[in-house]
Amino acid sequence: MRKPEPYFMKNPEWYYHDAEKMRYFLTDKAPREAIESYNEFYADEYVDPVFLHNVIQDAEQSYREDLKREGKTSEEIEKIISTWLHNITTHEN
């Protein structure tokens, strides 16, 4: 029996697949519900904390560059990044 499609896959802007790593990854456009769905999807897998840290750092850098290209000020970027980091690293509602 196939599992139903996870919520995070409902919108292609929320995720991408890395064929080399054979894994899905979320984009910075993924809302909290998609992040929670993604975490549930991979809940049974161990994730090396160093790898996770590096992935978050890479995503943060990419997000900062995107925000800068959008014309955000340094202050706006810091506020957006702070909120984004909080959202992806906590399980609060």
Residue 8 has pLDDT above 70, yes or no: yes
Average pLDDT over residues 10-22: 90
Residue 62 has pLDDT above 80, yes or no: yes
Where does the pLDDT of residue 93 fall: very low under 50, low under 70, confident under 90, or very high at 90 and above? very low
The Cα 28–Cα 50 span in angstroms is: 20
Average pLDDT over residues 49-70: 90
**Average pLDDT of the chain, as a whole number:** 87
Average pLDDT over residues 56-65: 92
Q: Indicate the burial class of 16 (C-beta count within 10 angstroms; 0-12, 13-18, 19 or more).
A: exposed
Half-sphere exposure of residue 49: CA atoms within 13 angstroms, side-chain side: 1
Average pLDDT over residues 9-31: 91
Distances (CA, A) of 90 to 42, 45, 87: 16, 18, 6
